[in-house]
Amino acid sequence: MTNERPIHVLGISGSLRDSSYNTALLRAAEELIPAGMTLEIVNLAGIPVFNVDEEIPFPKAVEELRSAIAAADAVLIATPEYNSSISGALKNALDWVSRSPQPPLTGKPVALIGASTGMFGTARAQVQLRQVLTHLGALVLPKPEVMVAKAQEVFDENGRLTSEATRGFLQDLLTKLATWTWQVTH
Ligand SMILES: Cc1cc2nc3c(=O)[nH]c(=O)nc-3n(C[C@H](O)[C@H](O)[C@H](O)COP(=O)(O)O)c2cc1C
Percent helix / strand / coil, the chain, rounded to 5: 40, 20, 40
Closest CA to 80 of 44, 54, 32, 108: 44
The verdict on residue 138 lying in a domain is yes
| Ligand 1: centre distance to CA 124 (Å) | 12
2 has pLDDT over 90 = no
The verdict on residue 146 lying in a domain is yes
Residue type, 145: E
Strands (E), 68-156: 74-79, 109-115, 139-140, 146-148
The answer to whether the CB of 80 is under 6 A from ligand 1 is yes
In percent, how much of the chain has pLDDT > 90?
Answer: 96
The verdict on residue 1 lying in a domain is no
Q: What confidence tens digit (pLDDT) does each residue in 99-138 have?
A: 999 999 999 999 999 999 999 999 999 999 999 999 999 9
The verdict on residue 61 lying in a domain is yes
The verdict on residue 94 lying in a domain is yes
Q: How confident is the model at residue 4 (pLDDT cuts 50, 70, 90)?
A: confident
The verdict on residue 37 lying in a domain is yes
| Ligand 1: centre distance to CA 105 (Å) | 25
Instruction: Please tell me the predicted confidence (pLDDT) of residue 47.
Output: 98
The answer to whether the CB of 117 is under 6 A from ligand 1 is yes
CB distance 7 to 18 below 8 Å: no
CATH of the domain at 121: 3.40.50.360
The verdict on residue 2 lying in a domain is no
Say how many domains are in the chain: 1
Domain extent for 65:
7-185
Give residue 85's Cα distance to chain centre: 15
The verdict on residue 15 lying in a domain is yes
Q: What confidence tens digit (pLDDT) does each residue in 19-40 have?
A: 999 999 999 999 999 999 999 9
